[in-house]
Amino acid sequence: MTAPHEGGPRESAAEATRRVAEASRRATAELHKQGTPDYDPRQHEKAVERERRAIEDASGS
């Protein structure tokens, strides 16, 4: 299994947008689990952190 692409100078805008969208979907999915037995606050925090990093990478920061 290969590691996901982590940005870089050759990453296209479309790829960066796709990565941000996927990270956002995962964070939202974890958020919607709140109040259910499936909710794990640590998983939600990790998903939010992945989303933040994807946004930073996409913006070039």
Q: Give the largest Cα separation in the chain, rounded.
A: 42
One digit per residue, pLDDT tens: the chain, 61 residues? 445 555 555 668 889 999 999 999 999 999 999 999 999 999 999 999 999 999 999 988 5
The answer to whether residue 7 sits within a structural domain is no
Among the listed residues 31, 15, 21, 30, the one whose alpha carbon sits nearest the alpha carbon of residue 51: 21
Is residue 36 in some structural domain?
A: yes
Predicted confidence at residue 7, as pLDDT, reads 54
pLDDT for residue 48: 96
Residue 1 lies in a domain: no
**Within a domain: residue 31?**
yes
Identify whether 38 is part of a domain.
Answer: yes
Tell me if 51 sits within 8 A of 23, measured CB to CB.
yes
Number of domains, the chain: 1
Is 5 inside any structural domain? no
Domain assignment of residue 3, yes or no:
no
Q: CB-based burial of residue 1 (10 Å sphere; 0-12 exposed, 13-18 middle, 19+ buried)?
A: exposed
Q: Supply the range of the domain harboring residue 17.
A: 13-60
pTM for the model: 0.73
**Total residues found in the chain within this entry:** 61
